[in-house]
Structure 1
């Protein structure tokens, strides 16, 4: 499947479906929606600032939360990522202690943990014993873009090797390159046109991005050096170059991509007619104020959120895109 990034692509507009105000007690508001996962009629929100996982129903009512910093069973040192699988398991990545904790998505009770032989900055659970790891590495540091780890094994098996040493440091690189849309997992090979689909035990080509400006090996090395030296000014002139994807989420109707250009670009590949569209998000009054772009999928609708206007909880906005 080809996804074209052409200036003359037709435009699709945002059509908001519903807005859901999230409700917690006034003493403990959500710090930040760091990650969103839809799960049937419920959803989970990872909140990095408060090191909490919140669970809400489809009316926005709080029905559970995990906030267990410590050293005991089911407790974590540093929450860094979460995921769900089709069997009803909720997973938490503890970056500090290099382990993945497994809970029941229904009761949020602790079940078991899996020790990792190295680091990872993001992950997805294929099943209760198999995990895809983004930017994984062991004693030699981060050596792969994507790896797979199975419980009981000693090493992380690299699936997509890093072409350049320390590529993960490159300025403009987003830490998350695996996105879940229900049971579908998409992986983006950073700084290339390649998007892959992940299954329980394989990685297959899914889509190719055409028409973008992707950095050369020399450009990537310069980005790495700039990041190490905290000197980003030389790259402001190249701000429209496609350096990374912000997200890749699919529904039954199509796939939405966010590109880390300046300004950010959002495109949509329609499964109905096979065309690629530019998403225009500023033409719908209900959508105004929402963060542009998708943070997940819930009940086959793309999800974004609106920050609170009075320092309370944000609201979720479920939407689709429609042809003009």
Structure 2
């Protein structure tokens, strides 16, 4: 997409009470991924596991917005219910964070969450422009005043964060920035070339995709992905495609009522980018999802229009756990019957699924792949 001269102008003009500076990581490209050509290879599910999530009064899930797996636990962010529910790696309910309110240690409108390696939970509250850190048991908290409206974040360490989709003076003008808690340091990494007054609807509820040793971020409407290591160092990945929206198309999408639109063959978002087992799995959204596998050894790229019949009922790639990609399915009668009919279920597991009904919690799906 053609870079406009006014970027430098609006970065100066939309200055808040915080100090902003820009830094560029666009000079180098560390990897290129072609997302336009379909592969003739065969994609097969190598292993598939199901984990039912225990349903109690405290652990009922209305919507799975995000899944983070840390230290043998699944942290599930339910944005509709405004809470985080924590389960063991076998699906047993452990505890939850449900701190809705306007007092200390509470949040009004949580938009994202992340988890530290020790199990501390961080929750972003867009309404109050802060991040709240909760101890592993949820009993202690610490508040970090960001002073910016933002929609997603990534914890780099206890005080360093990456923020995404930052809005100032009613304009969505910053795609990605670095922020250090307790200071005025605010470094812009990726501005929006097309600054927006109205949000163009997203196809992902969060913008950072955390794997075990690396995280990914997609700079929307550009050909660039960022790979972020544990120290916050960024590497740039370029998507090779002819399907990026034009400036005219972005204006058309932004002007549509309620921000809804038809992709019309253009890539309008990335809904997942995780690495597990042998592959990086990237999901780009156009008229239909495209699943791109990048071999972590030789960087060979294979594009598929489907993940296969074995994963019927899945709700998209939501995270990773060890060597598995993570998704979930609803406990519909059809999905439950499909699980029960799996020949490799032990009798104990079969009986466990036979007891479930459509009022149960969603069922986690763990899987990996092989490409032939």
When normalised by structure 1's length, the TM-score is 0.89
Q: Provide the C-alpha distance between the structure 1 equivalents of 2:57 and 2:275, rounded to a whole number of angstroms.
A: 35
Bigger CA drift: 179-188 or 47-56?
Answer: 179-188
User: 1:282 aligned to 2:308?
Assistant: yes
Check 1:318–1:168 CA distance in 2 against 1; reply closer, same or farther (3 A cut).
farther
Q: Provide the C-alpha distance between the structure 2 equivalents of 1:167 and 1:96, rounded to a whole number of angstroms.
A: 18
User: 1:38 aligned to 2:69?
Assistant: yes
| TM superposition shift of 1:166 | 0.6
**Secondary structure, counterpart of 1:222 in structure 2:** helix
Check 1:139–1:150 CA distance in 2 against 1; reply closer, same or farther (3 A cut).
farther
Instruction: State the match for 1:15 in structure 2.
Output: 46
| TM superposition shift of 1:201 | 4.5
**Secondary structure, counterpart of 2:127 in structure 1:** coil
Instruction: State the match for 1:154 in structure 2.
Output: 184
User: 1:295 aligned to 2:318?
Assistant: yes
Query: How many residue pairs end up in the alignment?
Result: 314
Bigger CA drift: 195-204 or 66-75?
Answer: 195-204
**Secondary structure, counterpart of 1:312 in structure 2:** coil
Q: Provide the C-alpha distance between the structure 2 equivalents of 1:299 and 1:124, rounded to a whole number of angstroms.
A: 19
Alignment of 1:174-323 (within 5 A): 174=204, 176-199=206-229, 200-205=231-236, 207-226=237-256, 229-230=257-258, 232=260, 236=262, 238-279=263-304, 280-284=306-310, 287-291=311-315, 293-309=316-332, 310-323=358-371
| TM superposition shift of 1:322 | 1.2
| TM superposition shift of 1:176 | 2.8
Q: Specify the structure having the higher radius of gyration (Cα).
A: 2
Q: Provide the C-alpha distance between the structure 2 equivalents of 1:72 and 1:55, rounded to a whole number of angstroms.
A: 23
**Gapped regions of structure 2 (runs ≥ 5):** 1-30, 333-357
Instruction: State the match for 2:341 in structure 1.
Output: none
Among residues 47, 50, 54, which one is paired with 2:78 in the alignment? Answer: 47
Check 1:92–1:171 CA distance in 2 against 1; reply closer, same or farther (3 A cut).
closer
Check 1:215–1:50 CA distance in 2 against 1; reply closer, same or farther (3 A cut).
same
Structure 1 runs (4+) deviating above 6 angstroms are none
Give yes or no for contact 2:199–2:259 (8 Å, CA) kept in 1.
Answer: no
CA distances 1:16-54 after superposition (whole Å, capped 9, x unpaired)? 431100002157521111110001211100011211100
